[in-house]
Structures are given as C-alpha cells and as structure tokens.
A = this chain, B = another copy of it.
Amino acid sequence: MSNESGKTLGIGLVGFGTVGTGVWETLHRNFDLISKRSGVEVEIMRIAVRDINKTRSEDAPVEKFTTDWKDVVSDPTVDIVVELIGGTTIAYDIVAAALRERKPVVTGNKALLAERGEELFALSLEFNTPIHFEAAVAGGIPIIKTVQDSFVGNRIQSMVGIINGTSNYILERMTDAGLGYEEALGEAQQLGYAEADPTLDVNGWDAAHKAILLATLAYGFTIDPKHVYVRGIEMVREIDIEFAKRLGFVVKLLCVVREHQDGLIEVRTQPSFIPRSHVLSSVNGVFNAVAVKGDAAGDSLFYGRGAGKGPTASSVVADIVEAALGLGHEGGHRGFLPYKKDGTVMDIEDTQTPYYVRFDVTDEPGVIAKIANELADAGIGISGTHSPVNPDNPDAEFVDMVFQLHTCRFGLLKDTLKSIEELSCVNSRPVVFRIENLG
C-alpha cells in the first residue's frame, strides 16, 4: 500500500542554485504533507555545489555539500538523482552515470534532453531506470504528465504553446508600453526575468527545446533539433507590433507542434501573430500556457508559471515522488521512453499558414500593383493591404506597406518574396510573420 509504506528514500541533488534551493525548501516546508499524500518519505542526503564557500542562507544544509557530483551519484544512501546544473556536457555525464547505477533521474534540463535525449533514453531503457522531466517544460505546469499520462488515450492533434516567459514578457512590454526591443530586454534583465546572457531565451531555442520534448512525448520519436525551424524575438520591431495591434492581433513567441499524418510532424518556433480574441493572447508576463488538442479530449489549455524557484521546484518534487513510488515496485519503470523508430519533422517549406508581410518600399505609383502581380503569378491570395502606420508624413520617400496573405506553402512564399525583393521599388528584405490559425 503506497500510502502506508513509510520507507524513506534518499535524494541526491546536483546543483544548488535557485531551483535546487527551491526543491530543498519545498521538501522541508511540506515534508509531512508530501509524506501523507504520497505515502513515501523522501530526504535529501547529498548535494553537489560548484562553490562550497558561496554565501548562502543560514540554514543551508552545508553538511551535505560536496563539490564532486560523483559523490552524489555514488552515495549508497542516494536512491534518486536530481540534475539541476543545466548544460549538455557535465549534465549528460551525471544523468548517464546515475542511470548506469540504476538510480532514477529527475531533471529540468530541456537542452540536455532535446539535444541528447536519444542517447539518454537508450540508457534509460538499457538500465530499466526512468528519467523524469516535468520541470523541463513550462515550469510549474504539469504538461509532461498531461501529455504522457492523462492524454494517453488521445491522438494529439496539436500543441501550441507560449513557453518562454522571458520572450513573452519582452513582447508584452513592447506591445503594452510601446518599448523598443532593447529597452524591454533591459527591463526584463533588471527584474530578473532575463539572464545576463539572454541568448537562448530571445533566439527561440529555449522554447524550441521544450517544443521538441513535447513533440517527442506526443509522437514517440526523438527529433533532431537540426530539423526544427526556430526564430527568436530579436527581429521583432515596434512597427510590426503596431501593425499587429491595428489588425486585431498580438505578437507572441509561439511553439507550434501539429500532426499532419502519422509520423509527419510540424514543429516550429517563431514570433507569430495570434488573434486578440484567442485565449493565448491573454497569457501575459512570465506566464506560460500550452493549448493541447486531442482527438478525444478536444481543446484544452494549461496555464501557469513557467519558471522561477517555486514553480520549477513544484514539478521537480512531483517527479521525485513519482520516481520514489516507482522504486517501490518491481520493474517500476514509469518514465517516458520513445516508442517509435521512425517519424519525420515536416520540412518548414511545406508548412502552411496565412502571413503578414511588410515591405519597405519607395512610395511611387505602381508599387502595390507590382507586388500584387508577383503574388498573383505565384497563386498567392491577398486578404488585405495596409497603408503606412504613420500617415503624418505623406511625402516620405520610403514607406512600409503591409500585405496580409492567404494560406500558402511557406516555400512558395519564400521564393515569391525573393522575386519581389528584386523589384527596384522594394528597398530591403521583406519582414514575414505567420498568422496562426488556432481554430
């Protein structure tokens, strides 16, 4: 009886930064509650830290500290290893070593699993030892468990998510406060929402790693990040935010995962236009949300804090308990394993949406006609054209001209835009945003 077993299981933490501290605090604060609710007692036995002399809170469990992660993994009192250092090299060694010792692993490391999941899941299978990774996607939102367990009866038709809080905060400030990109980024850094080096957040790869994990969970095959189309928010300009507003949209860094036919999966991350009326448009600040559509459950949405000490610790602790319950059972592998050998990420050129395209043109008669002709020749429909945002300067030599285009293959659009770019009235590379069909 799990609720009566009462056995104490030992946890080893590798990494004691924000999340590690949060896990330790949560396990202490709610020890009784967790034991009663789950029937298992877990206790942190050993903690690997980078710098043992770093200033920490007075009650930090310094007696459990070591600077060598191997001490944690090999400690006989450690039953479950929690990897919280990030990165894809040492973290890989840690996870691999733990699996080889048949110690279940809990990790929030999306980059590690997205980049090296294939090797690690093979080890997990070989040593019949699970990897749990709820904290890797969307912080405190239990999206992994939902897709893996709660929606196990569903063919997942699509998952559309806002899963990078930093980007979402920056885009929100650009939209609501009219800040420029650099200014909004600086503000996010000041508030601790963006790291000193925000590269992975703003270039889309943090979100893309999470989308890769979600796609692997839902469709069963490991996905090579090289096949995934990823664009970040660095290219978003105030003028496009403004146009989006005028046209009834908001710009969000969106991960889109969609099954087209068995084994052919669309996976992409980019700033997109979404209708202001859609619930995802109200996901503000550092919050995350994932909309999941299953063939049985229909449309669902999961919303919550996507990062930070408490929310991430919440997911790590849930995984620790899950791992502990699994340990109590014979052959207790209850983690995820890819179950499909084959599967293909759809070529980005084959994906289809409507588009917003902004051209920087010389304002002379015939410009719209020339562009429209090229689009017509390609068979791409125009749903609207929009004049300059700032009509106060009607004599400007260069203006921005926006075309809203009907759904077409992305490859066709790209080729057509290349021809249009060569027109003498077009002054620079057109700016393209997808208009997402979230129906």
Contact = CB atoms under 8 A, between A and B. Distances in A.
Given A296-B313, A313-B296, A318 B3 contact: no
A125 B1 contact: yes
29 contacts: A1-B125, A1-B333, A3-B125, A3-B337, A27-B153, A29-B295, A30-B153, A36-B220, A37-B339, A39-B339, A142-B142, A142-B146, A142-B149, A145-B149, A149-B321, A150-B315, A151-B314, A152-B321, A153-B318, A295-B310, A296-B317, A297-B304, A297-B305, A297-B315, A298-B311, A300-B304, A300-B305, A301-B304, A302-B303
Given A2-B334, A301-B302, 20 more contacts: A1-B331, A2-B331, A3-B339, A29-B155, A29-B295, A34-B152, A149-B321, A151-B314, A151-B318, A279-B279, A279-B282, A279-B303, A295-B310, A296-B310, A297-B315, A299-B304, A300-B303, A300-B305, A303-B303, A329-B329
A30 B154 contact: yes
Nearest to A3: B337
A33 interface: yes
Contacts of A322: 149
Interface in A312-367: 313-315, 317-318, 321-322, 325, 328-334, 337, 339-340
A271 interface: no
Contact of A296 (B22, B321, B325, B332): B22
Contacts of A148: 37
A425 interface: no
A150 B155 contact: no
Contacts of A330: 329-330
A254 interface: no
A232 interface: no
Contacts of A5: 331
A230 B155 CA distance: 38
Interface string A128-168: 10000010000011100110111111110000000000000
A38 interface: yes
Contacts of A1: 125, 128, 331, 333
A313 B330 CA distance: 30
A21 interface: no
Nearest to A331: B1
Give the interface residue-count category, chain A. Answer: 35 or more
B153 A34 contact: yes
Interface in A84-136: 125, 128, 134
Most buried by B among A27, A149, A301, A340: A149
Contacts of A155: 29-30, 33
A66 interface: no
A178 interface: no
A130 to B, nearest CB: 9
Interface in A30-72: 30, 33-34, 36-39
A220 B37 contact: yes
